[in-house]
Amino acid sequence: MSASSPAEVTAERFLAARQSAQGLADYPGPMPATLGEAYIVQDAALARMTEAVAGWKVGRILGDLADRYGCNRLAGPIFASTVFTADLQSQGLVFAEGFGAVEAEFLFRIGTIPAAGKTHFTLEEAADHIDAVHIGIEIASSPFAGINGHGPAVTISDFGNNNGLLIGPAVPDWRSGTYADQTVTTRIDGDSVGSGTAAAFALGAIGSVQFLLENLIARGIAIEAGWWISTGAVSGVHPVTPGQKVEADFGPLGVLHCTIAAQEPR
């Protein structure tokens, strides 16, 4: 398929860099000025993918950036080949010439799809579409090394800066909401790099589910049962490089481990 717009050119350049595992020193096109423009790039790349989507990452947009862009969250697809059950041998693959980071997150699984014509959800309605919650690690990575330095629109444009998901054990009795008060700590090579709770999220982690359902429906994307939603970094976004060892400590809910490795050409 030949490109016919700047958004399509940008999308194709990002896809080529991802497939070859080569870095991008500069943004591969005109930077999107709005979230709407960014999702056009993301959708153009998504349309060119033959691989199945296994879920979606939701990232938070904080402070002045949320005011500037008129939204406090962003979304990007997670592809099936990058989703793994976490164990002691787990790897997190990052683009060695680009940007790489890890994020400890609560993962929500879609159990039922929304009714046709439904476009807005209360928090309770959003929760009704979830059948399980797990602990996990999102691998955030892009061939563009500066992806996190230019605001959320640039992040959105390259699949939301996602390159994988590690799924840990299930959270028992998640509907009680007590998981949100659990302190989550991330360690890299044994050193603590950040701690936090999901209770600090605007509208909580369920707010990420609410946002994503509405975002996908507005974009005309059919929601599927079984998709995972990575709901946002609990302890922060922590840059990593190949060879580093990561530990995401969810206290009594479990501890996850992974070793960072370089993404190879696909």
pLDDT (tens digit per residue) in 228-259: 999 999 999 999 999 999 999 999 999 999 99
Tell me the three state secondary structure of residue 44.
helix
pLDDT digits (tens, 9 = 90+) for 154-167: 999 999 999 999 99
Q: How far apart are CA 7 and CA 10, in angstroms?
A: 5
Q: How confident is the model over 65-72, as a mean pLDDT?
A: 97
Residue 251 · residue 183 · CB < 8 Å: yes
pLDDT of residue 110: 98
Average pLDDT over residues 49-72: 97
Q: What is the pLDDT of residue 175?
A: 96
Q: Which domains does the chain have, with CATH numbers?
A: 6-262 (3.90.850.10)
Is the pLDDT reported for residue 3 higher than 60?
no
CB 35 within 8 A of CB 74: yes
Can you say whether the dihedral through the CA atoms of 74, 150, 23, 38 is positive or negative? positive
Note if the pTM is more than 0.95: yes
pLDDT at 1: 39
- pLDDT score for 4: 80
Q: Quick check: 27 pLDDT over 90?
A: yes
Contact (CB, 8 A) for 161 and 140? yes
Task: Indicate if the pLDDT at residue 135 is higher than 50.
Answer: yes
